[in-house]
Amino acid sequence: MKAIEQLKNEHEGIKIVFRILRKMCDSLKSDNHLDAGHFEGILEFFQIFVDKCHHGKEEDLLFPAMVQAGIPEQGPIEAMLSEHVTGRGHIKTISQAFTRFKSGDTAVAGALAHECEQYISLMLDHIYKENNILYPMGESRFSQDIDEKLFQDFETLEQERIGKGKHEAFHEMINQLNDIYIE
Ligand SMILES: [Fe+2]
Ligand SMILES: [Fe+2]
Q: Per-residue pLDDT averaged across 77-81, rounded?
A: 97
How far, in Å, is the centroid of ligand 1 from the Cα of 33?
Answer: 31
User: Which bound ligand lies closest to the C-alpha atom of 83?
Assistant: 1
| Predicted pLDDT of residue 1 | 80
How far, in Å, is the centroid of ligand 2 from the Cα of 111?
Answer: 26
| Calpha distance 96→91 (Å, rounded) | 9
How far, in Å, is the centroid of ligand 1 from the Cα of 77?
Answer: 9
How far, in Å, is the centroid of ligand 2 from the Cα of 63?
Answer: 11
**Measuring CA to CA, how many Å separate 164 from each of 27, 134, 159?**
33, 28, 6
Q: What percent of the chain has pLDDT over 90?
A: 96
How far, in Å, is the centroid of ligand 2 from the Cα of 48?
Answer: 14
At 93-127, the pLDDT tens digits run 999 999 999 999 999 999 999 999 999 999 999 99
pLDDT interval class at 183 (50, 70, 90): confident
| Predicted pLDDT of residue 164 | 81
Query: What distance, in Å, lies between the first and last C-alpha atoms of the chain?
Result: 32
Nearest alpha-carbon partner for 101 in 36, 164, 163: 36
Check whether 25 has a pLDDT greater than 90. yes
At 151-179, the pLDDT tens digits run 999 999 999 999 888 999 999 999 999 99
Domains of the chain in sequence order: 2-181 (1.20.120.520)
Check whether 88 has a pLDDT greater than 90. yes
Q: Per-residue pLDDT averaged across 70-90, rounded?
A: 96
How far, in Å, is the centroid of ligand 1 from the Cα of 81?
Answer: 7
